[in-house]
Amino acid sequence: MAGVPRWPAVVVLVAIGLLMALVSNRLTVGPPWLPLLVVLVLAVLIVIAIVLDRHDWRRRLGLIGLGTVTVAIAGSAVILVQQLIDGSAPEPTTLLSGAAAIWVANMLTFALWYWEIDGGGPSKRRRDGHISTDLLFPQLQVGDGTSSHGWWPGFVDYLFVAFTASSAFSPTDTLVLSRKVKGLMMVQTVISMVTIVVIAARAINTLR
């Protein structure tokens, strides 16, 4: 049986680049359009790799794209904290819209990380039954706990894991098993907490 669909990675990667392009250059490391340019080039190469059935290339290109946007998002989170501390933050509208874009981009980026890592990646996962030592979805805990009788996680399942980590600061119904995913989730949670704290601090300051 063929692996799971790969197109979500391309669409979401471009969406992340667009979100970062909307952030003010006062809140980014380098030009805001740079991550978008990188992911657009990589998206074209990823599509070519998929057409040529070179999933090893697709995986490497996808990881390069994820690494690029992760560094850009983490850098923006650091700038948010710095500007909050030294009082050099831009006007409230720019700051709040930028922080919101960073929060969403962070969620989408780590959803892609989980999608790319779980079970060895989309090229190794199967639609006729899913087995993984990275994430344990509740559907896999039915029966013998190792197979799902044809169930397989789609991108929305990984997006939900990332959303709960960004909003509740922990996974909810899905167990995190591997150390690499635990490490990624800690990074995601820290970035999310930073952006939410910045938004809350600005809101409190505005009320005053």
Q: What is the pLDDT of residues 5-18, one digit of tens each?
A: 777 888 898 999 99
pLDDT for 128: 63
| Calpha distance 65→42 (Å, rounded) | 7
User: Mean pLDDT score of the chain, rounded to an integer?
Assistant: 83
Residues 6+ positions from 47 with CB-CB distance below 8 Å: 10
Confirm if 35 and 74 have CB atoms less than 8 A apart.
Answer: no
Residue 179 tokens read as 């150390």
Question: Is residue 189 over pLDDT 90?
Answer: yes
> What letter represents residue 128's amino acid?
D
Residue 20 amino acid letter: M
Asked whether the predicted pLDDT for residue 43 surpasses 70, the reply is: yes
What's the number of CA atoms in the CB half-sphere (13 Å) around residue 171? Answer: 21
Neighbours of 102 (CB within 10 A): 30
pLDDT of residue 1: 45
Q: How many percent of the chain have pLDDT more than 70?
A: 88
Distance CA 163, CA 165 (A): 5
The dihedral sign for the CA sequence 79, 80, 85, 89? positive
**pLDDT tens digits, 128-180:** 667 778 898 888 776 654 555 667 788 899 999 999 999 888 878 888 999 99
195 by DSSP, 3-state: which?
helix
pTM score: 0.86
State the Cα–Cα distance between residues 122 and 126, nearest whole angstrom. 8
> So what's the pLDDT on residue 144?
54
